[in-house]
Amino acid sequence: MSCRWQTWVAMVLFILTAPHLAGAAGYGIYEWGARGQALGGAMTARGEDPSTVVYNPAGMTQLPGTQMSAGMTIIRPSGTVNPDDSSLPGGEGVDNTWVIPNAYITTQLGERYWFGVGLYSRTGLGTEYRSDEDWFGRYSALYAGIKQVSLTPNMAIKLTDSLSMAVGLEVAYIEVNLQNMIDADPNQGHSGDYDVKQKLTGGDPGYGFNLALHYKPLDWLSFGASYRSEIDVTMHGDADFSNIGQTAKTLNLAQQYSKVQGTSFTATEPLPAMLSLGIMVKPVDKLSISFDVLRTYWHAYNELKIEYDDSTSLGKDEATSPKKWKDVNRYQVGVEYALLDWMDLRLGYVYDESPVDPDHAEYQIPSNDRQIYSIGSGFHWDAWTIDVAYSYLTVKERNFNDSEASGVEDSTFEDGDSHLFALNVGYRF
């Protein structure tokens, strides 16, 4: 038992110290394990490995003994925002590489009870532009980063031989880094001489719960349902103002920015509620097909209000950006075939709707609806498992010509895609 907990502590330290940002539909993250990624996330009705702690904790009742898994998904996104006015410098996304770690453990406590804990990222974002302080969209975004990690302990109980339920808690820590330029005198036509750079950094925890059901009436058929509550994280952090334009330095208006360098701010960032429904069928013994619908309740992100402890140079003590996001669905299909006793082959497909309201679209989150194509394999021998996956993500173009968001010009987001590589290693005791 001592060895098990030493391994678990090592997993905790791994996930807390690794960077984990990624582009997503909205800023949601759904890459929670290599097996799930290869199957397009269609895991709600499966309950076949420790990552079920997140996908559907009631599925833990399908796992005997004690099992654990740890791994990561590596994401390399790209995309460009091109202005309609060719005289303006466009915004090319920086080709960064983001890492999303995960770790899970489940254990059977008795004939009817199971306990499991998961560490994963439910949200995340990394948007960065080349030559960021010169491009035309700098008043909307220079950099937008969200780091988030959740700890979720769960208890599952087998109500009957075919029906299980689970209940759990979630402790979610979120950290943001938002950067943009502010024009101290917009009447001068965004010349740059009056620009002031704003950087907001902060973070705090929030708390929620989850409920789940798993029903397996037949050996070849199972159903799943999982709900995660909305979590509103009230963040406290620092607001810094720097890089004041050459002309703006002579204005009292801009000088007031420098006086509040180091001031603090408060803002609320929601982690939206999520409801997932799934079904899995096995037409033949070696083949399983699963289908999930995951609804994310993004209406929680109605606005972003930043409250400053000291008034800014515009004479305001708060700044509000309307978002008005909408609830959306994510459609997920996965196919798994047991090619050999020690190797499984997997395919997955996802259609992921974007929650962003076109009337308030901005460059912090420029992407649109996404499609994801996945392939992967699982290898298992003795007590060990290794799961690998590769996904290619394509993003639909987004036109910003109708957007009313501050700092957004007539433009188009184009060439959005990502490569995702995932690996998980598991062990059964």
Q: What is the pLDDT along the chain (429 residues), one digit of tens a residue?
A: 445 544 444 444 444 444 333 345 678 889 999 999 999 999 999 999 999 999 999 999 999 999 999 999 999 888 888 888 877 776 777 777 888 999 999 999 999 999 999 999 998 877 777 766 678 888 888 888 888 999 999 999 999 999 999 999 999 999 888 888 887 666 655 566 777 788 888 889 999 999 999 999 999 999 999 999 999 988 888 888 776 655 555 555 445 554 545 578 888 888 999 999 999 999 999 999 999 999 999 999 998 888 887 655 444 577 788 889 999 999 999 999 999 999 999 999 999 999 999 999 988 888 899 999 999 999 999 999 999 999 999 999 999 998 888 888 899 988 889 999 999 999 999
Q: What does the pLDDT read at residue 313?
A: 43
Fill in the amino acid letter for 235: M
Q: How do beta strands 163-183 and 328-340 pair? A: unpaired
Cα gap 391→346, rounded to integer Å: 12
Cα gap 127→119, rounded to integer Å: 24
Cα gap 131→137, rounded to integer Å: 11
Ramachandran quadrant class, 193 (left: phi over 0; alpha: psi -120 to 50; beta: rest): alpha
Q: Across the chain, how many H-helices and E-strands are there? A: 4, 21
Cα gap 37→51, rounded to integer Å: 11
Is residue 87 exposed (0-12), middle (13-18) or buried (19+ Cβ within 10 Å)?
exposed
Q: How do beta strands 221-228 and 274-284 pair? A: antiparallel
Cα gap 25→41, rounded to integer Å: 14
Scored b (16 or more CB within 10 A) or e, 142-179 reads bbbbbbbbbbbebbbbbeeeebbbbebebebebbbbbb
Q: What does the pLDDT read at residue 268?
A: 84
Cα gap 365→294, rounded to integer Å: 21
Q: What does the pLDDT read at residue 95?
A: 72
Residue ranges of E strands in 130-220? 143-158, 163-183, 195-218
> What class, spelled out in words, does domain 2-428 have in CATH?
mainly beta
Contact 377, 346 (CB under 8 A): yes
Q: What does the pLDDT read at residue 41?
A: 96
Residue spans of alpha helices (H) in 188-292: 252-259
Which tokens sit at 323? Answer: 């978002």
Domain ranges (residues) in the chain? 2-428
Cα gap 308→204, rounded to integer Å: 17
